[in-house]
Structure 1
Amino acid sequence: MSATATEGVARSSIVMGLGSLVSRITGFARTVVLSGALGATLLGNAYTTAQFFPQMIFELVMGGIFTGIILPLFVKARKNDLDGGDAFTQRMLTLAFVLLGLATVVATLASPVVALTADPGDPREIVTSLSYWMMPALFFYGMAAILGGVLNSRDHFAAPMWVPIINNLVVIAVGVAFWAVFTGAVPFNTADQITPGMIMLLGGGTLAGIVIQVLALLPALKKVHFRWKWRFDFRELPLRKIARMASWTILFVVANQLSVLLVIKLANMAYGSAKDEGFWVPGPIVYNNAYLIMMMVYGIIGVSIVTALMPRMTRAADDRNWGELKEQLAGGTRMMSFLVIPLAVILVALNQPAAYAVFNWGVYLDDQATATGYVLAVAGMALLPFAMSQIQYYAFFAQTDTRMVALINLPVIIFRVAFYLFAFALLPMEWVVVGLFAANGISYVVSVFLTTAILRKRLGLLGMGNILKGQLAMLVAALCGGAVAWLGYTVWPDPLGDKFQQILSSAVLGGAALLVYVVVCMVLRVHEVRDLRSLVRSKLGR
């Protein structure tokens, strides 16, 4: 990829990355507050189980339906229609409103089905009660994704990146209120400690956050001069094409959701296997906390880069300019690798102080933070293959080819499910959650191999040799930084002591690792250092 194109991606990515950074930081704070207020026992696991389904649907809508259908169609309508795509967009919004409304009603009525992933008895009843409150969030998650697509297609990226902050702040306030009213310093280990008021506050507050997020997008739509009019003339839409694309995406979503339900079920079974015997085993909340940290890192970097790349790749694919599509894909992969690799290594090297600094609050106890650290280390190892698999999916989405994404994901999910079952069958219960996350990582590697092979067959050489060469140099630099961080951790006096030491050791050693990484990258002449340095100099007017 040319330096100009790389800097263009970097420029757009950094502008959006600022909003994404604040959004992910507040999302991080949300996770910390809820973990401290609920703990990693009965209530914490029940809340995680109930919210995992709508949250994962959101991630898949954003990564599948949004990227694979909504955004490319909006971009093409904006580019080709005489009215700038307004009528097309109004019809799509009306159709989405109707379909999302129906799907949400069905999903909410099916809340007891989601609760089957919890253990029988009281845990299942608590999950069902929470799900009735939280499942309607599906409608608002979908609308947030579609309205974000309208704004992105009009080159307005700020609001979709910033409004999730409002959602996070609402849920943080809910967690603080829960702590103040209910928690104190008592972990919720039994069902008789959990009241209807707790369920209402947690479920209703979580739903309120996404409702307010959607409402906050409306001023941005007005700013880009888009007016939403109800249009029910759906026959003017390319319904057959949309149905074909959506059918494959729905297959992809359903297959992923089955694997999600399985992993939550296995994590609940691991937790339930030991609770009656008087000792604690990691369950869904530990898995979810590590997953959210990984997604926070990816979201700050990967989502920003992909959001900047996607309109360019879509336009290139629409013009059948495959050279430009490959150039954008290669440059985005290198830029994402440059930013993801050091953070992944730091997560592995500093998994314990990081987990203690983040989660060892309130009723989230020492052994729970220790277990979270182990899962966090595996999440660090899974981060790069996950990021690469995602950006390669977007090359198919740019061609509006959701069919191939679904076909690729079927064997990937089969591998993932098989490794889930192996982990549960072969590992001691206290290591099951670690094994479940390792299964994710293996499936991401499988996905990278499949997507690379198919893209190469379709588009020709992708420049993977240069990408791998660059990634190797980045990995060497990151390992140097990680070694410095790990050695510092081994000699740091009591890095897991009080909260100040936990935060200080994580921040100082992580910062030192990043500094070493940048210096070694400069010595190894990693091009992305030059690109980012040029961008910073241009922003400073030099």
Structure 2
Amino acid sequence: MMRAAGVVGGATLLSRILGAVRDIVIASFFGAGLTSDAFIAAFRIPNLLRRLLGEGTLSIAFVPVYTDVLYHQGRTEADRMATSAIRLLALVLLGCALFGIVAAPWLVRLFAPGFAESADKFELTASLTRIMFPYVIFVGLLALCMGILNVLGHFAAPALAPVFLNIAMIAALCLGAMWSMDQNVQVRWLAFGVILGGVLQLGLQIPVLVRSRFRFWKKAPLWHPSFQRILLMLGPVLLGAAVYQINSLVVTLLASLLPQGSVSYLYYADRLVQFPLGIFGIATATAILPTLARQAAAQQCEAMRQTFAHAITLVFFITLPSMVGLIVLREPIVALLFQRGAFDAHSMRLTASALLYYCTGLWAFSGIRIVLNVFYALKDARTPLRISLIAIAANLIVGALLMGPMQHNGLALALSLSSVFNMALLTVALRRKLGALGWRAICTSIVKTAMCAALMGVCVEAVSGWLLPSDGGTGLQLLPGVAGCAFIGTLVFAGLAHALKLPEMRKLLDIVRKNSPATPA
């Protein structure tokens, strides 16, 4: 499990780095204005489906059933079931893509109602939505392939897939800029880059499926008896596991009613939060699902409790110092990454303020994914569904109340508060489901980690005055100072964790050693 988490985390790190480069390029060309708002809102809809399907949510419904068939009926029947699933899903996704193309104007009115006040912004958003909606076909099939490969022990290719999306988007935007200076033309090139990225992502999985000896059954039926179990879980899973993504869509909806640029400020801040969340939270959750599914199939409840405890403490061990670091260095980080071209100092400050409020919920964003996967391995999707609906309603209500006095910052804070609420309810429900989870040991580890992170934050705040430019600085001139602060913070946190003998430090070092090039395969 730890090796798989390391593989997924390493591949996700590369993807997030390229994703940051992509966002830097987009911010440089479009800033935080009409064009960026239109693209971000248009991309939110197919990107929501990408996160629903591509970051493990479809796999959550598919993997336990596929594992069960493989465990009890053998590889041949498991491959036959997977082939039927690929065929049926392809037809469903084709229908979704056609619907999205036709219904683009209505989707924009639904998810970004404030854009209707500007005809140019509304028309551009609808046009971009039409271009990008077919992306759901490729990312949906990718998600199914990812589930198959993860069960068969292949994690690298699925985790590397987003790298190709980022490369395609960066290349498309740069080519568009060479073709025309008109932002409307450039942003359409960017949208077509999304489609190219989808093709490349799916294409990467085919050779790995062949090497894993997966057999595509030409005469497999469109329906398999196991699908009933998948469908019973799929609806609740999509809502339950996707609460963060749905809440992000709620944030976009409410932000469209705020002054121009609000959608962009929240998007860029969210992208920075997604960096540690994707590398550690989602990567660990993805890696433990096959392990939990096997333990659930064998009815090994104690082993499941141990897997959960190891995963949740490791995730908090990494996300808590990441959260503190992002809070302390929020302005220099945003300035380093985005403040150039059309992205000015005003946009930097407003993005950094949103990042502050998003960061307060980072630990909950990560923990939710771990808790949810325990429920789904137990084939219980209804409990997370009920809790997630409560959390979504809380986000909508709190966001609507805070957006007046706090503007876009209120929406970021509402998302964090609703996620903490969601995490608390899920944890209580899991204890009732699985019994004692060893929370005394877990909480002891979390408290020690929080103490180390807080002391690290104090040290980073102290040295930042020496390492960062006194006039604030912009762009790459901030790189040495930010890197120096991050390095010192890492040393301080690691030293404190070692002094307190936190076992997560050893687990993290084991992951690094097992996934280093010098380690035999």
**TM, length-normalised to structure 2:** 0.93
CA offset digits 1:278-320 (Å, max 9, x no partner): xxxx411211111122112111112221222111111111122
Contact 2:60 2:289 in 1 (8 A): no
Mean CA deviation greater in 295-304 or 245-254: 245-254
Q: Which residue of 2 aligns with 1:54?
A: 46
CA offset digits 1:180-213 (Å, max 9, x no partner): 4445xxxxxxxxx654x33531221221111221
Q: Which residue of 1 aligns with 2:309?
A: 330
Mean CA deviation greater in 223-232 or 433-442: 223-232
Q: Which residue of 2 aligns with 1:388?
A: 367
Q: Which residue of 2 aligns with 1:132?
A: 130
Contact 2:11 2:159 in 1 (8 A): yes
Q: For 2:242 and 2:503, how far apart are their aligned partners in 1?
A: 40
Contact 2:52 2:242 in 1 (8 A): no
Q: Which residue of the other structure, out of 12, 25, 28, is the alignment partner of 1:20? A: 12
Q: CA RMSD in A?
A: 2.2
1:289/1:528 CA distance change after superposition, 3 Å: same
Aligned-residue offset at 1:498: 4.1
| Counterpart residue identity of residue 478, structure 1 | A
Q: Which residue of the other structure, out of 417, 421, 427, is the alignment partner of 1:442? A: 417
- Please say if 1:352 is aligned against 2:335: no
Contact 2:108 2:126 in 1 (8 A): yes
| Counterpart residue identity of residue 57, structure 1 | L
Q: Which residue of 1 aligns with 2:266?
A: 287
Aligned-residue offset at 1:338: 1.1
Contact 1:289 1:372 in 2 (8 A): yes
CA offset digits 1:368-390 (Å, max 9, x no partner): 11111111222222110111111
Query: Number of aligned pairs?
Result: 511
Q: For 2:227 and 2:206, how far apart are their aligned partners in 1?
A: 26
CA offset digits 1:68-94 (Å, max 9, x no partner): 211222222222223341111111111
Match of 1:364, SS state, is coil
- Please say if 1:454 is aligned against 2:429: yes
CA offset digits 1:170-189 (Å, max 9, x no partner): 11112222344445xxxxxx
- Please say if 1:99 is aligned against 2:92: yes
Match of 1:163, SS state, is helix
Aligned-residue offset at 1:246: 2.3
- Please say if 1:119 is aligned against 2:115: yes
Mean CA deviation greater in 148-157 or 230-239: 230-239
Mean CA deviation greater in 240-249 or 226-235: 226-235
Q: Which residue of 1 aligns with 2:159?
A: 161
Q: For 1:214 and 1:459, how far apart are their aligned partners in 2?
A: 37
Aligned-residue offset at 1:535: 5.2
Match of 1:216, SS state, is helix
Q: How does 1:455-534 map to 2 (within 5 A)?
A: 455-491=430-466, 492-494=468-470, 496-534=472-510
1:261/1:452 CA distance change after superposition, 3 Å: closer
Aligned-residue offset at 1:348: 0.3
CA offset digits 1:137-189 (Å, max 9, x no partner): 11111111111111111111111011221121111112222344445xxxxxx
- Unaligned 5+ segments in structure 1 are 1-8, 184-192, 273-281
Work out the percentage of aligned pairs sharing the same amino acid.
Answer: 23
Q: For 2:278 and 2:512, how far apart are their aligned partners in 1?
A: 22
Q: For 1:253 and 1:313, how far apart are their aligned partners in 2?
A: 16
Q: Which residue of 2 aligns with 1:147?
A: 145
1:255/1:168 CA distance change after superposition, 3 Å: closer
Match of 2:361, SS state, is helix
Q: For 2:246 and 2:12, how far apart are their aligned partners in 1?
A: 29
Q: Which residue of 1 aligns with 2:380?
A: 401
Q: For 2:506 and 2:127, how far apart are their aligned partners in 1?
A: 54
Aligned-residue offset at 1:488: 2.0
Q: Which residue of the other structure, out of 385, 404, 422, is the alignment partner of 2:401? A: 422
| Counterpart residue identity of residue 70, structure 1 | F
1:156/1:291 CA distance change after superposition, 3 Å: same
Contact 1:104 1:135 in 2 (8 A): yes
Q: For 1:157 and 1:52, how far apart are their aligned partners in 2?
A: 26
Q: For 2:246 and 2:285, how far apart are their aligned partners in 1?
A: 26
Aligned-residue offset at 1:398: 0.8
Contact 1:94 1:232 in 2 (8 A): no
Mean CA deviation greater in 150-159 or 396-405: 396-405
Q: Which residue of the other structure, out of 86, 107, 110, is the alignment partner of 2:103? A: 110
- Unaligned 5+ segments in structure 2 are none
| Counterpart residue identity of residue 126, structure 1 | L
Aligned-residue offset at 1:527: 1.1
| Counterpart residue identity of residue 497, structure 2 | C
Mean CA deviation greater in 107-116 or 88-97: 107-116
Contact 1:64 1:249 in 2 (8 A): no
